[in-house]
Structure formats: C-alpha cells, structure tokens
Amino acid sequence: MSQYKIEAGTGQHIGDRQEQQDRAALFAAPHAPGYMLAVVADGMGGKSGGALAAEQVIRTAKQLFDEFYPGNDVRVLLENIVSEAHTVIKLSGVSAEKEPHSTVVALVITPAQEAIWAHVGDSRLYRFNGPNFSFKTKDHSYVEKLVDEGKLAPEEAKYHKLSNILINVLGSGTTAPYVTIGQYSPLKANDNFLLCSDGLWHYFDDAELSAAVAANSPRQASELLIRKARERSDGRGDNCTFAIVKLVEPPAEVKSYTVQKMRRAV
C-alpha cells in the first residue's frame, strides 16, 4: 500500500496589475505512471510579452514531460525545460521586437519517493514538514547576491529598493540561464511543497506559509493565501500565482468482502 497520496492544486490572482503574466500548471506523465510535475512561471516584459514568456515555459514543460519515460533522468528533464523555453522565448522576443523574460520553478515527484526541483530567478519552492518550515530555494536576485557577499542583512532584502532586479532569467539575449537543482528523499506523508511567484511570498513569512498549507486542503489554502496577500498588498499587489503539492496519509483500507462458512463437500 502507498505510504502517501498526493493532493495538489494551483491558485492565481491578477493582483493590481493590468495583465496576468504568471502561469502555473500540474501535469501527469502519460508514459511514466507515478510521476507528477508542478510548474510556476513569472513572466516579465511589457504588455503581453511577459505572459507569452510564461506561457512558453508551461508549454515546453508539458511537451517534454509528455515525452518522459521511467528510467530517464529527471534532472536532465528539468534542465531541458529551462534550456528549450529560454531559446524559444529569446527568439520570440527578437521576432516581436520585445524583451520577454520569465522565471521558473518546477517540481517532479517520483514513484521512488523522491522530490526533485529546479528554479531560475525569484520564483520559489518551499518544503514543509507538516506545519514546520524546512527549506526554501535561494533567489537569483541582486539583493540575494548582496546578502551572500555580506553587504546586506537578510531581513533587509525583501524591502530593498532593488529587490525586483534579477541576475538570472529565461529569455535574456546576452546570458544563458543557469539552473539550480535540489532534491529531497525519502518522501513521506505530511511532506508539503509550495511553488510560488514573488507576488505571493513577498507578503508572508516562512512559518505563515507552512501553517496555511498544513492546516488546509490545497483549495482552502489557496483561498486563504490569496485573501491575505490581497489584504497585505494595500492596492499595490503583483500577480500572485502558486502551486501546492501535499503528501497526505492514504485512506484506511475498507474491507470490501465477507467471509462465509464453507459448506461441507459431499
């Protein structure tokens, strides 16, 4: 019997922007039973450009996951999603005379009780153990670089005037993106994951996010997080997009048979 079952969902709100430039999706692999993929992309690049960039990330992720088979390397899959989406976004920007970019964070859950993820930019993955915060990815941003160099305190980074400047994105015409990959195993019931754009994580601390995800179904948590993000944004909120993946205790087996006394054979 499986040690856990997967509950997952996505949430999204346009915030106070004129256009929704984020995308989120959940996929099953048609040729690899037991594998699932969650993706969040935060597009940038002016009217429609950012939305097209984020949409390209989702399309590329689906296309490559549809071609994924058991035994293939998940890390290579994630690297290929980033590489191919970057190339197409860059080319589409040239043809449209725009500069579309996108971040991405993607998570694969495997039947071998592994979680493998990759990210580019400042879209984050959080891992929680029940209501307890365990891990989050490190942003590819200018302020995070200042923190690493000891020039800025971590608590100052979120509200720094240059906090929205990224040093690693998909679609750049000058620099190829680098991919940060992480892994966690063995997975067990009550391991929870949150993938989100900065339009969500900016308004919460780690403990708030872990508590909201642990105490609610993905849909209930989505409604709660969006409501709180809207309250805290004070009319200046960015697009808010995320995916929640929860590993929960499987339901107890229910006996579906009856035992009757055998009749004596003659």
CATH of the domain at 186: 3.60.40.10
Q: Which of 25-29, 34-38, 95-99, 183-187 is least confident?
A: 95-99
Is residue 256 in a domain? no
Tokens 């979120």 correspond to 158
pLDDT at position 258 over 50 = yes
Is residue 264 in a domain? no
79 lies in which domain range? 5-248
Is residue 125 in a domain? yes
pLDDT band at 2 (very low <50, low <70, confident <90, very high): low
Give me the percent of the chain exceeding a pLDDT of 90: 80
Is residue 38 in a domain? yes
Is residue 255 in a domain? no
pLDDT at position 94 over 60 = no
The pLDDT tens digits of the residues spanning 191-239 come to 999 999 999 999 999 999 999 999 999 999 999 999 999 999 999 999 9
| More confident site: 46 or 65 | 65
Is residue 263 in a domain? no
pLDDT band at 108 (very low <50, low <70, confident <90, very high): very high
pLDDT band at 1 (very low <50, low <70, confident <90, very high): very low
pTM summary value: 0.91
pLDDT for the residue numbered 97: 53
pLDDT band at 178 (very low <50, low <70, confident <90, very high): very high
pLDDT at position 256 over 90 = no
pLDDT for the residue numbered 248: 95
pLDDT for the residue numbered 139: 96
Domain count, the chain: 1
pLDDT for the residue numbered 155: 78
Is residue 253 in a domain? no
Is residue 262 in a domain? no
